[in-house]
Amino acid sequence: MTHLCVSISVEAPDEIHTALADARRAVEHGADMVEWRVDALAECEDALRHVRTLVRESPVPCIVTIRGAREGGEWRGDETDRVSFLEALCTASGEVAPTYIDFELADMQRSANVRQKLELCVEHPGQVRTVGTRLILSAHDFEGRPAALLRQWTAMAEADACAVAKVAWRARSVRDNIEAFELLATRVKPAVVLCMGEPGLMSRVLAPKFGAFLTFAHAGSDSDAQRAAANAAGTAPGQVSVQDMVNLYGFRRINSATRVFGVIGWPIGHSRSPHVHNEWFREAGRNAVLLPIPIPPEYEHFKASVAELLACAPLDFRGACVTIPHKENLLRFVNEQGGYVDPLAERIGAANTLYLDAAGALYCANTDAPAAVDALTHGMGIERAALPGKRIAVLGAGGVARAVAVGLADEGAHVVVFNRNEDRARRMCAQLQEGAMRARSAVAGSMTAGRTTEMSTGGFHAFINCTPVGMQGGPDPQGNPLASDVHLDETVTVMDTVYAPRETPLLIHARSRSARTVDGWVMFTKQAERQFRLWHTD
């Protein structure tokens, strides 16, 4: 069993009551171990009594950590004083001792005296005292993968006093997680291997799949977001809450057979795909989990990262939602890998769904196009059969815009594409028309590029925003892609493909002009339903 440990930083005596309340709340949400980070508290007056209070009243077995400044902690004192404090905490007669203490490998190796004193206060084969506390021997690098990682790992394995080996480093990319999993596979004793930062989320959530001794979460709740963020920042970058670990990612259901899916994009923190698909996995009784996977925009990053995820057999990576800016990268990748590209995705020149079929063959598809048609007709209050002849303005020339334009033109609409770079809009339309000819696909409607000044002349039945303008976490979250002089009234429908936030500046503006609106959540859920049906999880 992999423990879910909530890490709580306590800096002063007046924080103890709140910290214990945080711990109890975390246990109610699913934590089964607490790490008391007492770097600063251990230097306060009467510190030993205060830390003993935390240990004695801890609702579940606990770890006590006094992290040295060299590895990201706040302890500034002498190393001998620190280990003497831990010895007093662990060996006092009649006192409740912590289940584990965490101490840095580098500081133990730096001084024979420190090592000897540390060995006196923890259980190990050569211990002559009656001691119940065990040692987590750790190494942390907040810059990146440590050059001495394998030497550290070997030293921990060989240290008799080390009950649990723990290494953590800041992930530079999602590929760091693969090395973390490979390292866990070589363990000779209980071990923790974590990648810090947003790209390292996979190493935290999938700890049970790879047999880690524990993984960490923070105790904060949605109702106390500031405290949650401060707590997470005070222990390790990239921690998520206990609630998200248990409820969003299904931590207690993850095992070695769990199949892994992702949502790939840059940025990706705003994505609601994990919430939707993980809920559907649970409802369907499928042993699968979907995680956010941030990959920088360049194709080289996408290719290297996805190739490694697919090549890691123990990970069992089975597919992904792919969003901005990687939809065209996905199509290129699957073609280069000799996989199968759905004909619609080939025509569009972009895909949003990566999957393996039951035999393990690589596929990609585009579920945006049919979902966009469904969403728009729903918002306009018409059937698909009523689309021929409708004039639709599509804003943008990226992967989403390509899918929306093809989907609507195939249904007979007259699509006019607007983009700040008008040459890009013209190239997009020409490419899509060429794609239709190569596929010998008859397009019932039309696709043309328009000048931005033409948007205000009227005559459009609908406007569809396919840019990231207005997106939470995007380049212009407060922006509105429609100029104020664009004619809107109750006969016009405005649709946004941005779904986070659900109420975008564009939709607020459109409603103020009496236009009908369709939020991005409608299209999102319709395309997600199609993705879910493509993924093989059994």
Active-site residues, by number, are 327
The separation between the first and the last C-alpha atoms of the chain, rounded to the nearest angstrom, is: 23
- Closest alpha carbon to 110 in 83, 89, 141: 83
493 neighbors 515 (Cβ within 8 angstroms):
yes
- Closest alpha carbon to 522 in 321, 374, 351: 374
- Closest alpha carbon to 199 in 234, 226, 169, 222: 169
- Rounded distance between C-alpha atoms, residue 209 and residue 224, angstroms: 30
Q: Specify the amino acid at residue 425.
A: A
Cα distances (Å, whole numbers) of residue 413 to 391, 409, 503, 520, 524: 6, 5, 27, 20, 21
DSSP, res 498: -
Maximum Cα–Cα distance across the chain: 89
82 neighbors 42 (Cβ within 8 angstroms):
yes
Query: Exposed/middle/buried for 291, CB within 10 Å: 0-12, 13-18, 19+?
Result: buried
Query: Exposed/middle/buried for 113, CB within 10 Å: 0-12, 13-18, 19+?
Result: exposed
- Closest alpha carbon to 447 in 459, 422, 430: 430
Q: Specify the amino acid at residue 188.
A: V
9 neighbors 221 (Cβ within 8 angstroms):
no
233 neighbors 268 (Cβ within 8 angstroms):
no
Chain-centroid distance of CA 371 in Å reads 24
Q: Which residues pair with 517 in a beta bridge?
A: 494
Phi, psi angle pair for 398, to nearest 5°? -95, -160
Cα distances (Å, whole numbers) of residue 532 to 173, 288, 344, 363: 26, 11, 18, 14
111 HSE (CA, 13 A, CB side): 14
138 neighbors 104 (Cβ within 8 angstroms):
yes
Cα distances (Å, whole numbers) of residue 175 to 180, 214, 254, 310, 335: 9, 21, 21, 11, 22
